[in-house]
Structure 1
Amino acid sequence: MMEGRPKVIAKRAVYDPQDGFRAQHFDGNGSSAEELVVLASWSEGRAMTDEKDPERIAARLLENGSCIAVIIKCGPQGALVATATSHKWIRAFPSPRVWKIGSGDVFSAAFAHAWLQEGRAVLESAWFASRTVAEYVGTRAETFSQETLMRIREDSNLALSKSSDTSRAIPDGTIYLAGPFFTTNEQWLVDEARFALHDMGFKVFSPIHEIGEGPANVVAPADLFALENSALVFALLNGLDTGTIFEVGYARARGIPVVGLAESIEAKPLTMLIGSGCAISNDFATSVYTACWQLMGDV
């Protein structure tokens, strides 16, 4: 594997743009391959094709004569694995923790290992890569034992039959974003959570963005109406803001699931939240993905 933009001439190549909205085509610097597989995130695919739909992104990238397969990674929805004759969707494997740093590199490395070194089919290699990423983000392990690799292989082989011709739709329900927004730090965290959930395709209701500040007799009823009509509450619990705690209790009393982020809070003050079924994490990425997976029915 090489990170950078050297000119590559290869018989078989796996290309991961790694540049988000600045992603470039493999042959943009004169690189060429007899057989090319492009692994791109949804944002990278959009950057390279000006298309928004993963199916259209893949179709455009496959127009390159040497490109035999395209994989578009779509977060909790899984990934589209497209060739000239087949478009299949694979699922992500939920994990108890999500360590995002390096996850894209692990997907690329695992796919390359299965496809280039082991000679496995593209779809099978993609499932192997997805399961390997789940192991990595859940454990932060940089190397895997043979026993772990065997388990990863078994899980991915079993999942192969779950390949689908259509994508999994993002649920129509809204995520209610509960959290304080009275300081710069608090507002920044609200903005980050809102962006992360929006970026993965979910509808988000953020009180400060949708309702704003105002008299209590105006703001509270509007917020509670939105909360009552939400499918899940994502609660930013740092500081144990009283308004946020109230919203969590209100949601649980109505059977609305709650996922919470509590980065530096001991378990004892969270007793009622944990005991009432809230899924609490001290990690931002983990809590965001848990909210998405819960809404999609994966956890």
Structure 2
Amino acid sequence: MSQLAVVGGSYLEACSSPRSIVYRGSGVRAACVLAGMGNTVTLHTVLGNELAGEFEQIASLKGFALQAARRDHEITFVYQHPLGVPEIDGESVGTEPRSAISADAALVFGMIEGRPIVHGDRVVYDPQDGDRAASFSSNGSSAKELAIVASLSEARSLSGKETPEDAASELLNQGGHVVIVKCGMLGAVVATAAGLTWIRAFPTDYVWKIGSGDVFSAAFAHAWLVEGLGVLDAAWFASRWVAEYVSTRCEALGAAELERVRAEAAAQAMPRNRPTINPKPIYLAGPFFNTAQLWQVEEARTALHDAGVAVFSPIHDVGEGPADEVAPEDLRAIRECGLVLALLDGLDAGTLFEVGYARALGIPVVAIAESVEEQSLTMIIGSGCIVRSDFCSGIYEACWQLLVDE
């Protein structure tokens, strides 16, 4: 077994829908994944006084060691849904001073409390913190060989560049030996001195997004730091591991499952171009006659825009008005769209009509039905619509349906 240092947060994560409360944070989740693959892991973290016992029990059960400073209060991430931006409770907390950490191999995450100085031979750094991300060396940390694994927003912040390709290249110029820029449903850019390529996400029917980036970084660290895989192979392995996590929320795989993941990743492990998104918009069908309905439409529209997809939303792009004016405009938009995403909760008559109209024209439909009885979906399913019972999963499915692989 290999010795790995993990530096990262230990936080409470709460999600309203689907309902979930877990004691995780990036550091704990990554330690669980890495220990589950047989590594000897020490997690360097900060624990709140109230929940320290919970995290100590998790470490004992999952098989990793804790080196923990203390803070006055707990830090909680609160999500409305897995695609939402979390509210963070307890950002301003008092924390004990921490000593510098030295390690041969380390996975380092950005932390709400501020991460300690790390000096490592080989380090995987996941900056966290979106557009407020800080470089690895910003606090005096150093690495002989540094792999940066960042989201697109983090890469933009660190590089000052807009596209994932340009951001990755700039971060290489700034001293990264390996740069991976994660782009959600599109996959990720992988950059080294030898060149730049893309890897793909592995589509799944169910998507639990919270923590998926932590799992990617942990799986990449295992493959690159421990198994000695090349950067591209390690990135494909991480992508396939994430698919396992988001579809099951598992943080440990049995030997047979791990070999299956490894084999499926290896079968895809080749350089790819950037995937193309169908330029035709998604038609967002759903009722908007009360606060809850309009909120869901707004959340879906925002999530699709954030994924880089064009969206036609009747309430935003046509508005309200007489039926003989609104209906023709909406139907024209359906004829010109690439896909209909239907919000079916409540079984609104107008939304069901839009679904039927689209299917009669051969236009694909993805339906989100979180609170709809199965017998009410007979014609929806029977006409070839893809139905997802979860908001996040439905958004991902709609976007994946628009991708054109090259």
Q: TM-score, normalised by structure 1?
A: 0.96
Alignment partners' CA distance in 1, 2:404 and 2:380? 21
Note if 1:191 corresponds to 2:191.
Answer: no
Partner of 1:53: 163
Distance 2:341 2:352 in 1: 12
Q: Given the alignment of the two structures, is residue 273 of structure 1 paired with residue 380 of structure 2, yes or no?
A: yes
Instruction: Name the counterpart of 1:285.
Output: 392
Distance, in Å, in 2 between the alignment partners of 1:203 and 1:210 is: 12
Match for residue 104 of structure 2? none
**Structure 2: how far apart are the matches of 1:19 and 1:244?**
38
Match of 2:86 in 1: none
1:36 and 2:157 aligned: no
Distance 2:192 2:397 in 1: 31
Work out whether 1:112 is the aligned partner of 2:112. Answer: no
* Structure 2 unaligned regions, length at least 5: 1-5, 9-110
Aligned-pair CA distance for 1:21: 2.2
Residue of structure 1 equivalent to 2:91: none
Specify which structure has the higher proportion of helix: 1
TM-score (norm: length of structure 2): 0.71
- Rg larger for: 2
Aligned partner of 1:6 in structure 2 is 116
Asked whether 1:135 is paired with 2:140, we answer: no
Q: Deviations over 1:256-284 (max 9, x none)?
A: 00001111111101110011011111111
Give the letter aligned to residue 197 of structure 1: L
What per-residue deviation string (whole Å, max 9, x for no partner) do you get for residues 206-226 of structure 1? 111111111111111111111
CA distance in 2, matches of 1:2, 1:21: 20
The separation in 1 between residues aligned to 2:325 and 2:133, in whole angstroms, is 45
**How far apart in 2 are the matches of 1:187 and 1:15?**
39
For 1:265 and 1:126, the matched residues in 2 are separated by 38
Residues paired across the two proteins, number: 295
Q: Please state how far the C-alpha of 1:297 moved relative to its aligned partner.
A: 5.2
Question: How many Å separate the matches in 1 of 2:206 and 2:216?
Answer: 17
For residue 88 of structure 1, give the secondary structure of its aligned residue in structure 2: strand
Residue equivalent to 2:342:
235
SS at match of 2:7: coil
1:188 counterpart SS class: helix
- What is the alpha-carbon distance in structure 1 between the residues aligned to residue 229 and residue 306 of structure 2? 32
Q: Percent identity?
A: 58
Q: Among 75, 90, 93, which residue is 2:202 paired with?
A: 93
- Measure, in 2, the Cα distance between the counterparts of 1:283 and 1:62: 38
* Candidates 74, 83, 86, aligned match of 2:192: 83
Q: How far apart are 1:50 and its partner, in Å? A: 2.6
Aligned counterpart for 1:16 among listed residues 123, 126, 130: 126
Partners of 2:280 and 2:206 lie apart in 1 by: 24
Correspondence for 1:103:
212
Instruction: Show structure 1 runs of 5+ residues with no match.
Output: none
In structure 2, what is the Cα distance between the partners aligned to 1:117 and 1:263? Answer: 41
